[in-house]
Amino acid sequence: MVLQLKNIFSIPNESKKFDCEINAEKLEQYPYHSFGSPITVSGAVSNRAGVVTLCYSCRFVADHVCDRCLFEFSREYSFSFEHTLVTEDSRYDDYVVCKDYALDMDELVMCDLLLELPTKILCREDCKGLCFKCGADLNKGECSCSHSN
């Protein structure tokens, strides 16, 4: 979804709410992540005293494989983000540039949430993983091999 923001940038105290969804077809562009649901996005853009701010939240389900025990599971995520928008390149990296008063929300949402997702995915915080010698799942109990030797 592309937000057209010319009115927001031009009119002080103007605001605009939006809702969108990033569907499975667009999510296929990210092969290293498996999304179990579309990403729902809702938020608002507002101009307060000439400063244009974007606030939004997104919700989705991701399908994972535990990095320690290889258990397949799904987890629901919910993130909130806030950005200051500008129309020209800025020397500050914290601003999002809206060329021609347009903002591609799909691209921004994906950048934000991919940076927010954990790099190590565990099925649970205290996951014991697999025995390094016999491969038994240590979450289900001790293995019978002599891995302590």
What is the DSSP track for 72-137? EEEEEEEEEEEEEEESS--S-TTEEE-GGGEEEHHHHHHHHHHHHS-SS--SSTT---B-TTT--B
**What span, in angstroms and rounded, lies between the C-alpha atoms of 45 and 17?**
6
**What span, in angstroms and rounded, lies between the C-alpha atoms of 66 and 118?**
12
Kindly report, residue by residue over 47-88, the tens digit of the pLDDT. 998 899 999 999 999 999 999 999 999 999 999 999 999 988
What's residue 18's pLDDT? 95
Q: For residue 103, tell me if it sits in a domain.
A: yes
Q: For residue 9, tell me if it sits in a domain.
A: yes
What's residue 92's pLDDT? 67
Q: Give the domain range for residue 98.
A: 2-140
Q: How many separate domains does the chain show?
A: 1
What's residue 50's pLDDT? 85
Kindly report, residue by residue over 2-54, the tens digit of the pLDDT. 999 999 999 989 999 999 998 877 877 776 778 888 999 999 999 998 899 99
Q: For residue 65, tell me if it sits in a domain.
A: yes
Q: For residue 147, tell me if it sits in a domain.
A: no
pTM: 0.82
Q: For residue 39, tell me if it sits in a domain.
A: yes
Q: Is the pLDDT of residue 149 over 60?
A: no
Tell which wins on pLDDT, 2 or 90.
2
CA dihedral 52, 104, 38, 119 (to 10 degrees): -80
What's residue 148's pLDDT? 52
On whether the CB atoms of residues 109 and 22 are closer than 8 A, the answer is yes
- Lowest mean per-residue pLDDT among 90-94, 113-117, 123-127, 136-140: 90-94
On whether the CB atoms of residues 77 and 84 are closer than 8 A, the answer is no
**What span, in angstroms and rounded, lies between the C-alpha atoms of 37 and 42?**
16
Q: For residue 72, tell me if it sits in a domain.
A: yes
Q: Which helix (H) or strand (E) holds 10?
A: helix 6-10
Tell which wins on pLDDT, 93 or 20.
20
- The 10 Å CB-count burial string (b at 16+, else e) for 14-53 is eeeeeebebeeeebeeeeeeebebbbebebebebeeeebe
What's residue 145's pLDDT? 81
What's residue 102's pLDDT? 93
**Confidence tier at 134 by pLDDT (50, 70, 90):** confident
Q: For residue 127, tell me if it sits in a domain.
A: yes
